[in-house]
Structure 1
Amino acid sequence: MRRATSVLLALGALMTASTLAAPAAGAAPRDGGPAAVPAGWERIDGAELAAMNGEENGAADGERSLAASADPAAEETVLLAVQSVRNGNFVATEKNYPSPNTGALRARSADIGGSWEGFAFEWDEDTQTYALRSLANDRYVAVEKNFTGSSQNLLRARSTGVGGWERFVLYYSEELDRWALQSTLNGLFVAMENGYTGSLQYALRARSAEIGGSWEEFVLYDLES
C-alpha cells in the first residue's frame, strides 16, 4: 500500500486511522435535479487545492509541489487518490473492463496500490472547473449521460480531451472533512453505488440531487507526499 496524506483545508490536520476504519453511514442518494449545495460546503478552486497540496507536502511560502513543471497550468494540477466514505474503499479505474464499461470508476480497492487508484485533478481557469485524468490509462473521466438504466451517468475514464462531459466542480466541508464532486454536464453530484451487484458494484455515477450523506462524500489523499 502506498502511503498518502489526506488533503485538508487546515494545515497539518490529518485524518485519523479511526476515521478511515469507520466511515459514517448516510441516507441513500436521491435522483433528479437541480442539485443543491448544503450549508457548510465550500466550492474549491484550483489555486486553493494546489496550495493545500503544497502545504501538506511541506512547501514553503506557498510553493507548490508541481511548480517545477514547464507548464504553468501544472501548478494547479494535483495528484490524488479518492476514497469513498460510504465503504472505505479507494476509487479505481477499470481499464481492463470490456466495452461499454471500459474505464469505469469503482470504489473497490482496499489500498492505494498504484496508478489504478490515482487521478490528476486539472484546474481550468476559464470554466472554473476540474477535469479528472486517470493515471491508470491517461484518459479523462466523463459522465455517460446517454447510458440507460443502472449505468446512466456512469463515470468512465475514456476521453482523450476535455469538454462538457468531463467537467466537475469540487466542494469541501471543513466540519465533516469530506469532499464532493458535481458534474457540470447534468448538475448532479457523484454517488458511489454501494447497493449495486456484479461488475458495477461500487460504481461512481453523477446521479444525486444533493449531498445527502456518505454516498456522495469522499476523502482525498495527496499522492505526492
Structure 2
Amino acid sequence: MTSVLLSLSALVTASALAAPTAQAAPRASAPSGWDAVSAGELREIAGVTDNPDDVSAAAEEPLTLALESVKNAKFVTTELNHTAPNTGVLRARSDKIGGWESLSFEWDEATQTYAVRSLANNRYVTVEQNYTGASENLLRARSTSAGGWERFVLWHNEELDRWALQSASNGLFVAMENGYTGSLQYALRARSTDITGSWEEFNLYDLGV
C-alpha cells in the first residue's frame, strides 16, 4: 500500500433518485492553500506515469485509492449492510483496508472532475441532495452511472500534505461527521462551504489495483 498524501512537488521524485446531467464544477474561488488536482497529476503522485499531462491514459485506467479521515484516523468504508435509505453510505470507521474501503477515481476530461466508484458494490458515489435534515448531502455508493450528483473535485494542500473532496453538484466540501451518533456516526456529507479543519481533510493511499 503506497501513501499518496505527500506534496505534489515532493512526489515528482518520491511518489433511488435520478441525478442531473454532468456539469463543470463550481470553482469561483479556490480554498486558500489548496489546488485542484487533475488526473495526470494524481497519476504522477501514485507513480503510474511520468507524464502528468497524459489525461487520456488516466481516463482509461482509473486509480484505486483508499480515503483516511484526518480527524479520526479511520478509513472510509462503503456500508453495504446498512438498511434503506442509507445502504451504501460512506463512513470513516475502519481500522484497516479491506474490500469495502477500495474506491476507484475516474477522471472526466470534459468537466475536469472525478467520479468515485466503490469497488465493494460497483456503484458510483452520489451526493444525496434530496435527503433532508442530518442526512442532507450524504455520500452513498448507489448509482449505476456518473451524472452531476456523482462528480467531485479533488483538492490538495501542499503544506499540509492533505486532500479534500468538493461536490461538483452543490459546490460544498465533504466533511466527516465526527459528532454524529448511531448508524451515521462518521458518515461523509458534502455540506461545508470551506475546508475549515480536519473534518474536511483526508489522506489518500494508492492500493495498486
Instruction: Provide TM-score, normalisation by structure 2.
Output: 0.85
Q: Is 1:81 matched up with 2:78?
A: no
Return 5+ residue gaps in structure 2 as ranges: 16-26
Q: Contact between 2:175 and 2:191, CA under 8 Å: does it hold in 1?
A: yes
Residues 166-205 of structure 1 mapped to structure 2, 5 A cutoff: 166-205=150-189
CA apart distance, 1:46:
0.8
Aligned counterparts of 2:174 and 2:136: Cα–Cα separation in 1: 12
Aligned counterparts of 1:100 and 1:223: Cα–Cα separation in 2: 29
Tell me which of 209, 212, 223 is aligned to 2:193. 209
Aligned counterparts of 1:181 and 1:40: Cα–Cα separation in 2: 14
Q: Contact between 2:40 and 2:58, CA under 8 Å: does it hold in 1?
A: no
Residue deviations 1:44-65, cap 9 Å, x none?
A: 011111122125xxx6x449xx
Q: Contact between 2:173 and 2:192, CA under 8 Å: does it hold in 1?
A: yes
Aligned counterparts of 1:101 and 1:118: Cα–Cα separation in 2: 19
Aligned length: 192
CA RMSD of aligned residues (A): 2.3
Q: Is 1:134 matched up with 2:113?
A: no
SS in 2 for 1:102: coil
Return 5+ residue gaps in structure 1 as ranges: 15-33
**Structure 1 counterpart of 2:33, which letter?**
G
CA apart distance, 1:185:
1.0
Aligned counterparts of 1:42 and 1:193: Cα–Cα separation in 2: 24
Give the match for residue 3 of structure 2.
6
Q: Contact between 1:35 and 1:188, CA under 8 Å: does it hold in 2?
A: no
Aligned counterparts of 1:218 and 1:72: Cα–Cα separation in 2: 22
Tell me which of 67, 70, 80 is aligned to 1:95. 80
Instruction: Provide TM-score, normalisation by structure 1.
Output: 0.79
Aligned counterparts of 2:125 and 2:200: Cα–Cα separation in 1: 17
Q: Is 1:47 matched up with 2:15?
A: no
CA apart distance, 1:35:
8.6
Give the match for residue 220 of structure 1.
204
Residues 22-41 of structure 1 mapped to structure 2, 5 A cutoff: 37-41=30-34
Aligned counterparts of 2:142 and 2:81: Cα–Cα separation in 1: 12
Give the match for residue 19 of structure 1.
none
SS in 2 for 1:50: helix
Residues 9-20 of structure 1 mapped to structure 2, 5 A cutoff: 9=8, 10-11=10-11
CA apart distance, 1:199:
0.2
CA apart distance, 1:38:
2.5
Aligned counterparts of 1:36 and 1:94: Cα–Cα separation in 2: 33
